[in-house]
Every structure is written in structure tokens, then in C-alpha cells.
Amino acid sequence: MQPPPHSGAVMCKFFASPQGCRFGLACRFSHGMQPMQQQHHQQMPMHAPPHHGGMQHRDPPALLKMHSRMNKHAVAGELSAALALLQQLPSMGLSPTLITFSIIIKGCQKARPPRPDLALQYFDVMVLHHAIPPNVVVYSSLLHVLAAAGDTAKVSALLASMQSVHGVAPNEITFTNLITALGRRRQAQ
């Protein structure tokens, strides 16, 4: 038996693509940021620092709206517009979250040409400056942008360190993204 439409369990990978999801309302996957946000909140420990929010916290509506706007630009490959919105967060009294950085890294992947240098920079800002531990979604996006740029040495190093440094194991989506990015890279050559 299939789950009901838009069950929210898993985000539709086609919804955010330029062509969109061909199944529309009949799609059994979520058409929004809710699954990623739910995963973010479920993975936060109870003792998380206040700027991470803890289990009781939900991102403020203003941040959710900014995430939606940033994601729109990131998916369209408009990295500079997504980064401009990121720069506005402090003036609004908002702090970036795991979702914020996931969107920016995705924007680095969708930019033409891909921007692995910026993706690594914002990954470091997330981990070192904001003390936000990465999850498999962020690692998968970062690996994808590195693979799309053809930087196989950094892909190998990141794959080796993701579990040893942060305890994050790659999953099927991680490997699918890598295979897809490397395959497209090879076809482009």
C-alpha cells in the first residue's frame, strides 16, 4: 500500500527541479522543505545550545520564509541572490541553521559553473563558526558539488572523514548523488 499523497515522509527530488514534479498533487512525496526541517529538529539533542534551538524550539516564521526564498534562488542556480538573503539574517535577528547551510551548499551545486570552493567555505562556517554538526543531507550535497566539479581527491577525503569526524554514515542518496554527478561530469567531457 502506498502512503497518502504528500505524506511528508520524504521530499520529492523532482519538485525542486526546474521541470518540477510531473505527478503534481498525486505525488506520494512531499513538495516542500518540511521533511528536511523535521529531520533537522529530530536530530537535535535535548542539550543543544540555545542558538540550535533544542527539541522544543521551532524555527521562527521569518526564518522559514527566508529559507523558502533562499531555496527558490538556490534551485534556480542564482547563488548570489541566495547568499544576499543569507547576509540579511543577522539584521533580522535570525541565526542560520542546518537547513540554511544545506540550502546554500545546494546553491553552490546548482550554480553554473558549480562552486565547490564556496560550498566548502560555508560548510566550514557552519561547523566551525556556528558549531552546527552536519547531517547526511549536508554531506551528500557537499559531495555532489565536489563530484560535479570533478574534484575526486576531495570527494574521497570527505567520504573518509564524514563518519570518522562527525559520525555521519553515507546512505543510498549519498552514493546516488555521487554516481550521478560523476556520470554527468564524464559525459560533459
Q: Are 105 and 82 in contact (CB under 8 A)?
A: no
Enter the pTM of the model: 0.67
Q: Are 146 and 154 in contact (CB under 8 A)?
A: yes
Q: 98, 76, 100: which is closest to 87 by C-alpha?
A: 100
Q: What is the pLDDT of residue 52?
A: 45
Q: What is the pLDDT of residues 5-37, one digit of tens each?
A: 444 456 666 655 556 667 666 777 666 554 444
SS3 of the chain: helix, strand, coil, percent, to 5: 60, 0, 40
CA atoms within a 13 Å half-sphere pointing along the CA-CB vector of 81: 15
Q: Which three cell numbers stand for residue 82?
A: 541566495
Q: What is the pLDDT of residue 13?
A: 65
CA separation for the pair 88, 85 (Å, rounded): 5
Q: What is the pLDDT of residue 57?
A: 53
Peptide bond into 60 cis (omega under 30): no
Give CA 132 to chain center in angstroms. Answer: 13
Residues of the chain with pLDDT under 70: 1-21, 23-25, 29-57
Strand partners, 11: 30
